[in-house]
């Protein structure tokens, strides 16, 4: 079975990779000189493209933020004339104007090839039937996967979203082997299939993305749908879906280092972090024509994994563990609420409802985690309570490298959130 779409690029040795990255970085920096925003940014920072001698010199250049793209609405970040732009997408802005992204013909081809790498990497190809159950409109997810799948010769069903019963009939009637959708839609699909008495025998592979999902969700979806589930990370400003993708090891996501220059930074200070340190993902795409970006802050939290991968494709990112705007600093240590949630989910004796309080006591940051006890794993004995509390403290310490106070509370006693949960209360600013 073919497992590489572009083996040479996917397995470049570090020396050749760095040389290629440097060459492409210089070209990208030159290409953004036609963008007024970047001319001003570089002037203000006192940097010029000619200063770049090594990849590390990129750190002298300022970041590009989401707000900058909004301020450039609609076409302020295009580095080519409009007649070279063959397609426009927008990203869903929850507030204010959306962000516009543009593509040249070459961009569309590059993007399809990167998706083709992802899909070939997990062993799907010409013999597979692919149902693409995501929005085909202004959202990049639909067309992005569509053209990548066609490129590798899959049979593509552009079913888009909605009408779940019809989706299930198509999976059955067309012998669909591979689906792409959000994990929450996959869950819904599995429930409707169950109601309809459909077993979806033909399904083998599920590609899930566009929202964060846990390993628990992975197991549930795999059991319910009979698929092997792969995580796909995308961001429209960097083409769209498939920026990073799991290989069959399913232990971290590959990002194509010849096409995306990756940095992990401390979101508060902007300083670059080492491999194995968690922080905000910053990407400089190296192969974009219409809308090249320099040091784009994704706001997503991950880290570069220190070890390589058995498949031979270079350094991976861990799965996205949250948004950098949620980061807390407790006694100098970076903590993300998603890490706390992750630890608690592993401990059957407690539920998944929790609250975090941060106080300053005798000039020291103190973190208290309140979590609901899970009745079915609790005997009611005081000794058992102490045992569970000790276990939670230890597990939190192992992951966060931070001492915390843990309070076990009655099931149902913590607040429930309908919208975005506010689980962290930072009281350090209060008197």
Where do contacts with Zn ion occur on this chain (CB under 5 A)?
Answer: 247, 249, 309, 311, 313
The distance from CA 173 to its chain's CA centroid, rounded to whole angstroms, is: 33
In whole angstroms, how close is the CB of 128 to Zn ion at the nearest point? 20
In whole angstroms, how close is the CB of 226 to Zn ion at the nearest point? 23
How many Cβ atoms sit within 10 Å of the Cβ of residue 431?
Answer: 3
In whole angstroms, how close is the CB of 318 to Zn ion at the nearest point? 13
Q: Which residue's CB is nearer to Zn ion, number 13 or number 376?
A: 13
**Nearest to 283, CA basis, from 236, 247, 322:** 236
Q: Which residue's CB is nearer to Zn ion, number 139 or number 245?
A: 245
Q: Which residue's CB is nearer to Zn ion, number 118 or number 132?
A: 118
Cα–Cα dist 102/84, whole Å: 10
Identify whether the C-beta of residue 160 lies closer than 8 Å to the C-beta of residue 135: yes
Give residues with Cβ within 8 angstroms of 231, minimum separation 6. Answer: 208, 209, 213, 218, 245, 246, 250, 253, 319
Q: Which residue's CB is nearer to Zn ion, number 51 or number 249?
A: 249
Burial zone of 155 (CB within 10 Å; 0-12 exposed, 13-18 middle, 19+ buried): middle
In whole angstroms, how close is the CB of 319 to Zn ion at the nearest point? 14
Only one residue has tokens 């590489």, namely: 4
Burial zone of 361 (CB within 10 Å; 0-12 exposed, 13-18 middle, 19+ buried): exposed
In whole angstroms, how close is the CB of 138 to Zn ion at the nearest point? 32
Cα–Cα dist 314/110, whole Å: 20
**Nearest to 350, CA basis, from 361, 339, 341, 363:** 341
Tokens of 14: 């570090």
Q: Which residue's CB is nearer to Zn ion, number 117 or number 295?
A: 117
- Strand 316-317 relative to strand 296-302: parallel, antiparallel, unpaired? unpaired
In whole angstroms, how close is the CB of 274 to Zn ion at the nearest point? 21
Main-chain dihedrals φ then ψ at residue 381, nearest 5 degrees: -80, 145
Identify whether the C-beta of residue 249 lies closer than 8 Å to the C-beta of residue 228: no
In whole angstroms, how close is the CB of 241 to Zn ion at the nearest point? 18
Q: Which residue's CB is nearer to Zn ion, number 125 or number 314?
A: 314
Identify whether the C-beta of residue 136 lies closer than 8 Å to the C-beta of residue 186: no
In whole angstroms, how close is the CB of 207 to Zn ion at the nearest point? 16
Helix H segments across 288-381? Answer: 337-345
Q: Which residue's CB is nearer to Zn ion, number 247 or number 358?
A: 247
Q: Which residue's CB is nearer to Zn ion, number 309 or number 424?
A: 309
């Amino acid at each position: 079975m073919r497992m590489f779409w572009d083996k040479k690029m996917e397995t470049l040795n570090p020396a050749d990779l760095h040389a290629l990255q440097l060459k492409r970085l210089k070209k990208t920096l030159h290409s953004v000189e036609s963008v007024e925003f970047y001319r001003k940014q570089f002037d203000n920072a006192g940097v010029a493209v000619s200063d770049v001698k090594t990849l590390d010199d990129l750190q002298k250049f300022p970041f590009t933020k989401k707000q900058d793209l909004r301020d450039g609405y609609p076409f302020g970040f295009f580095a080519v004339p409009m007649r070279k732009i063959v397609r426009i997408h927008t990203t869903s802005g929850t507030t204010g104007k959306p962000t516009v992204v543009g593509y040249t013909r070459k961009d569309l081809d590059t993007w399809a090839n990167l998706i083709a790498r992802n899909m070939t990497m997990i062993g799907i190809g010409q013999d597979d039937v692919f149902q693409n159950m995501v929005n085909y409109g202004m959202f990049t997810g639909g067309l992005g996967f569509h053209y990548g799948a066609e490129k590798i010769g899959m049979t593509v069903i552009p079913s888009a979203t909605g009408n779940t019963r019809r989706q299930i009939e198509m999976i059955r009637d067309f012998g669909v082997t591979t689906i792409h959708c959000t994990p929450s839609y996959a869950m819904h699909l599995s429930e409707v299939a169950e109601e309809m008495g459909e077993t979806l025998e033909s399904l083998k592979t599920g590609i899930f993305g566009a929202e964060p999902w846990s390993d628990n969700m992975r197991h549930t979806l795999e059991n319910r749908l009979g698929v092997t589930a792969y995580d796909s990370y995308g961001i429209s400003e960097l083409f769209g879906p498939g920026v990073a993708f799991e290989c069959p090891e399913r232990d971290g996501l590959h990002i194509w280092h010849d096409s995306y220059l990756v940095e992990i930074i401390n979101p508060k200070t902007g300083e670059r972090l080492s491999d194995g340190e968690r922080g905000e993902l910053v990407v400089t795409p190296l192969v974009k024509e219409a809308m090249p970006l320099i040091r784009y802050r994704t706001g997503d939290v991950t880290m570069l994994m220190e070890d390589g991968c058995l498949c031979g494709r270079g350094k991976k990112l861990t799965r996205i563990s949250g948004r950098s705007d949620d980061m807390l600093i407790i006694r100098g240590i970076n903590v993300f609420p998603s890490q706390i949630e992750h630890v608690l989910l592993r401990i059957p004796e407690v539920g998944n409802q929790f609250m975090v309080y941060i106080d300053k006591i005798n000039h020291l940051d103190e973190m208290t985690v309140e979590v609901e006890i899970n009745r079915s794993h609790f005997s009611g004995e005081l000794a058992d309570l102490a045992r569970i509390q000790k276990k939670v403290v230890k597990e939190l310490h192992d992951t966060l490298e931070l001492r915390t106070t843990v309070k076990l509370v009655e099931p149902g006693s913590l607040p429930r959130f309908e919208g975005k949960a506010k689980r962290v209360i930072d009281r350090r600013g209060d008197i």
